[in-house]
């Protein structure tokens, strides 16, 4: 299933465009002399579309992880739980805090705040001066765009002034005959004594400009020049170069784009030479090469501004002409496959950021595991996607008697794929233990972990400072003498308990790290200093310490 949007951020367009650019450069280095010359201008056109058009086309081939280029981090906790058939039992309030399920929002395209329960979102900046840095970077970027565009526009105007004094060639029967033979009789030809080689200028009404000093009596030379220049007009090469100029202005800081501009100009000329040779035949190959040498300019020209002969490319072009061979059927098939595969992979290989949350955290009394579903790419799932996903997950948890979370995960992924008619890999399933406090303390008691009168855990008579049971989502931070880490096997059963005392490297590291925590009670924040790792936490009671 494909999902098309026009909302890709600029930084992702630049990132994915650069990746595609590198891929085309690699293909060009490997197959430049083995494939038809037109293949690479087509590939460069795909790169330009990626740089300039903010399309986001998601498919099973899409890049799964979308990078977030921001130095700020946020931790959000949402209580949005889909629970079915769980009996409510009075349980003594404990000082252990069960980790809230991962943030659950509505289906893609809906507001996360509409999810069941409440959402608390706290963000902090890694760098205090990030807004200032971001604003300065934006100003520098805009200044670079303006400067680059101004320089290119200035060069364009300078060459346009030189072409203003051109004279229209009206009565040269040789030129008129050649143009009519090529069905390009509507193209106007001018002569100019300020240019050194033929060129094509203009977009809507392109014109051919010839240097005054050239030999107009040389019919073969005129034919080759006009065939080459009108081929540029037929293929709209000046339009492609205009798009390339726009990409240069927007990506002025990217050296890869400047390299691409040079390669694009070269490949357009080679593709035109190949097209002319196909029309002329192999017998005129040598004379066409002589025409190139005769009209090569004596200095470099910004070939992105016009389609023109260039001395810097003559050696490559003459060598290409001398060794020119008509493309074989296998080469044509390979080039077609290359273009199609590049289009499919790279056109759908980038997608705009999207909300990955699909379902709420779901649990059932017949299964010791709970589950939550996420999407790995941007897909259109239809109406009531979260409700449908919750129902699918609850049905799997109710009917699955296997306590193996790997099997449960696979069953949920396959069931969601069948419900939404997409590939199973489009979903990521998070599985975690879903046990009541009573069930947990029954397990802990078997390992000599019991709560004291205040609800804090003690181990073999020693008060526990930090307690960590990741699989069950249980944490504790209190005044104590020992740290406890619970290790569970694949089926969620406690396999071992690690006890750490003073003198242990991890115990001492936690003691040395004194950072600030934010605790929230009835919507009000209280700052405290704790011997814990840096993180933002949410709890209903300031006395409940999370690790």
3-state SS of 58-94 is ECCCCCCCCCCCCCEEEEEEEECEEEECCCCCCCCCC
Distance (Å, rounded) from C-alpha 387 to C-alpha 122?
A: 27
Nearest CA to 99 among 539, 473, 492?
473
17 within some domain: no
What pLDDT does 143 receive?
A: 95
What pLDDT does 9 receive?
A: 83
Q: What is the DSSP code string of 392-455?
A: HHHHHHHH-----HHHHHHHHHHHHHHHHTS-GGGEEEEEEE---HHHHHHHHHTTTEEE-TTS
Please check whether residues 458 and 413 belong to one and the same domain: no
Please check whether residues 156 and 95 belong to one and the same domain: no
pLDDT at 124 over 50: no
Sign, CA dihedral 25-27-32-38, equals negative
Residue where one domain finishes, among candidates 433, 455, 479:
433
CA angle 338, 343, 345 (to 5 degrees): 95
Number of other residues whose CB lies within 10 A of the CB of residue 487: 13
Distance (Å, rounded) from C-alpha 490 to C-alpha 506?
A: 25
538 within some domain: no
Please check whether residues 88 and 183 belong to one and the same domain: no
293 within some domain: yes
User: Average pLDDT, whole number, for the chain?
Assistant: 75
pLDDT at 372 over 80: yes
Top-confidence residue, 343 or 126 = 343
367 within some domain: yes
Distance (Å, rounded) from C-alpha 373 to C-alpha 297?
A: 64
Question: SS3 for 211?
Answer: strand
Task: Decide: 475 and 465 in contact? Cβ < 8 Å.
Answer: no
11 within some domain: no
Please check whether residues 332 and 229 belong to one and the same domain: yes
Task: Decide: 469 and 495 in contact? Cβ < 8 Å.
Answer: no
Please check whether residues 176 and 247 belong to one and the same domain: yes
HSE-CB at 344 with a 13 A cutoff on CA atoms is 8
What pLDDT does 128 receive?
A: 55
CA angle 90, 92, 96 (to 5 degrees): 125
**pLDDT band with cut points at 50, 70 and 90 for residue 526:** very low
Please check whether residues 301 and 380 belong to one and the same domain: no
Distance (Å, rounded) from C-alpha 410 to C-alpha 418?
A: 12
- The residue-averaged pLDDT of 290-315 equals 57
Which residue is it, tokens 């605790």? 519
- The residue-averaged pLDDT of 266-272 equals 87
Please check whether residues 306 and 336 belong to one and the same domain: yes
What pLDDT does 540 receive?
A: 38
What pLDDT does 322 receive?
A: 52
What pLDDT does 533 receive?
A: 35
What does the CA dihedral 419, 424, 425, 431 come to, rounded to 10 degrees? Answer: 80
- Which stretch, 90-104, 149-163, 330-344, has highest mean pLDDT? 149-163
Question: Domain limits at 454?
Answer: 437-512
pLDDT at 138 over 80: yes
Which residues 6+ apart lie within 8 Å of 468 measured at CB?
A: 474, 475, 483, 484, 485, 486, 547
- Which stretch, 97-106, 250-259, 511-520, has highest mean pLDDT? 250-259
Task: Decide: 515 and 530 in contact? Cβ < 8 Å.
Answer: yes
Residue where one domain finishes, among candidates 344, 370, 405:
344
What pLDDT does 319 receive?
A: 58
- The residue-averaged pLDDT of 300-316 equals 55
Task: Decide: 58 and 2 in contact? Cβ < 8 Å.
Answer: yes
Top-confidence residue, 350 or 209 = 209
- The residue-averaged pLDDT of 98-127 equals 38
Residue where one domain finishes, among candidates 292, 310, 344:
344
HSE-CB at 220 with a 13 A cutoff on CA atoms is 12
What pLDDT does 288 receive?
A: 75
Number of other residues whose CB lies within 10 A of the CB of residue 241: 21
13 within some domain: no
What pLDDT digit, counting tens, does each position of 174-217 carry?
Answer: 888 889 988 888 999 999 988 878 889 888 889 999 988 888 88
Which residues 6+ apart lie within 8 Å of 364 measured at CB?
A: 83, 84, 85, 86, 394, 397, 398
454: left (phi > 0), else alpha (psi -120 to 50), else beta? alpha
pLDDT at 139 over 70: yes
Residue 279 in tokens: 């029309």
pLDDT at 307 over 50: yes
Please check whether residues 172 and 78 belong to one and the same domain: no
Please check whether residues 445 and 380 belong to one and the same domain: no
Sign, CA dihedral 266-272-276-277, equals positive
Question: SS3 for 391?
Answer: helix
What pLDDT does 135 receive?
A: 86
Please check whether residues 240 and 388 belong to one and the same domain: no
pLDDT at 477 over 80: yes
Residue 352 in tokens: 């705009």
What pLDDT does 28 receive?
A: 86
Please check whether residues 294 and 247 belong to one and the same domain: yes
Sign, CA dihedral 268-273-274-279, equals positive
Q: What is the DSSP letter of 509?
A: H
Top-confidence residue, 7 or 188 = 188
162 within some domain: yes
517 within some domain: no
Distance (Å, rounded) from C-alpha 303 to C-alpha 197?
A: 12
CA angle 371, 375, 378 (to 5 degrees): 165
Distance (Å, rounded) from C-alpha 132 to C-alpha 138?
A: 10
**pLDDT band with cut points at 50, 70 and 90 for residue 346:** low
What pLDDT does 534 receive?
A: 33
What pLDDT does 174 receive?
A: 87
Q: For 100-104, 244-248, 351-355, 389-393, which range has the lowest pLDDT when averaged over its residues?
A: 100-104
Angle between the N-to-C axes of helices 39-52 and 329-347, in degrees from 0 to 180, rounded to the nearest 10: 10
Task: Give the count of domains, the chain.
Answer: 3
What pLDDT does 328 receive?
A: 60
No. of H helices and E strands in the chain? 14, 22
Please check whether residues 143 and 251 belong to one and the same domain: yes
Distance (Å, rounded) from C-alpha 176 to C-alpha 157?
A: 29
pLDDT at 300 over 90: no
Order of all β-strands in the sheet with 199-201: 167-168, 189-192, 207-211, 199-201, 307-308
């Amino acid at each position: 299933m494909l999902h098309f949007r026009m909302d890709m951020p600029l930084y992702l367009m630049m990132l994915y465009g650069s990746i595609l650019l590198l891929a085309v450069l690699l293909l060009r280095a490997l197959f430049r002399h083995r494939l038809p010359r037109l293949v690479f201008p087509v590939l460069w056109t795909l790169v330009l579309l990626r740089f300039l058009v903010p399309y986001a086309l998601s498919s099973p081939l899409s890049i799964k992880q979308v990078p977030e280029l921001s130095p700020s981090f946020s931790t959000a906790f949402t209580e949005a739980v889909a629970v079915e058939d769980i009996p409510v039992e009075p349980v003594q309030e404990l000082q252990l805090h069960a980790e809230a399920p991962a943030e659950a929002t509505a289906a893609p395209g809906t507001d996360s705040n509409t999810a069941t329960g409440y959402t608390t979102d706290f963000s902090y900046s890694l760098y205090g001066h990030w807004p200032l840095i971001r604003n300065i970077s934006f100003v520098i970027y805009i200044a670079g765009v303006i400067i680059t565009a101004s320089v290119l526009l200035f060069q364009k105007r300078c060459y346009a002034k030189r072409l203003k004094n051109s004279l229209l060639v009206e009565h040269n029967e040789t030129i008129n005959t050649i143009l009519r033979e090529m069905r390009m009789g509507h193209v106007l030809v001018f002569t100019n004594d300020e240019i050194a080689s033929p060129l094509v200028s203009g977009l809507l009404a392109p014109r051919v400009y010839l240097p005054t000093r050239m030999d107009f009596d040389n019919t073969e030379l005129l034919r080759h020049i006009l065939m080459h220049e009108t081929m540029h007009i037929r293929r709209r090469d000046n339009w492609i170069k205009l798009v390339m100029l726009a990409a240069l202005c927007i990506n002025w800081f990217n050296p890869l784009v400047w390299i691409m501009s040079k390669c694009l100009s070269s490949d357009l000329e080679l593709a035109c030479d190949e097209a002319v040779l196909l029309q002329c035949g192999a017998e005129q190959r040598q004379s066409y090469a002589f025409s190139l040498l005769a009209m090569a300019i004596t200095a470099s020209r910004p070939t992105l501004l016009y389609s023109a002969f260039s001395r810097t490319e003559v050696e490559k072009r003459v060598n290409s002409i001398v060794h020119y061979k008509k493309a074989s059927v296998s080469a044509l098939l390979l080039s077609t496959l290359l273009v199609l595969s590049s289009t499919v992979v790279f056109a759908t290989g980038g997608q705009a950021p999207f909300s990955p949350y699909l379902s709420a955290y779901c649990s059932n009394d017949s299964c010791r595991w709970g589950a939550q579903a996420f999407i790995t790419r941007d897909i259109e799932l239809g109406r009531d996607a979260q409700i449908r996903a919750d129902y699918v997950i609850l049905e799997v948890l109710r009917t699955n008697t296997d306590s193996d979370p790997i099997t449960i995960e696979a069953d949920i992924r396959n069931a969601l794929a069948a419900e939404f008619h997409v590939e199973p890999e489009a979903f990521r399933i998070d599985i975690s233990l879903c046990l009541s406090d009573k069930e947990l303390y029954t397990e802990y008691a078997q390992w000599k972990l019991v709560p004291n009168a205040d609800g804090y855990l003690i181990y073999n008579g020693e008060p526990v400072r930090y307690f960590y049971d990741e699989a069950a989502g249980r944490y504790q931070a209190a005044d104590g003498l020992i740290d406890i880490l619970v290790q569970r096997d694949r089926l969620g059963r406690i396999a071992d308990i690690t006890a750490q005392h003073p003198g242990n490297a991890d115990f001492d590291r936690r003691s040395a790290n004194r950072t600030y925590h934010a605790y929230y009670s009835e919507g009000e924040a209280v700052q405290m200093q704790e011997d814990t790792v840096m993180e933002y936490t949410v709890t209903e009671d300031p006395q409940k310490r999370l690790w």
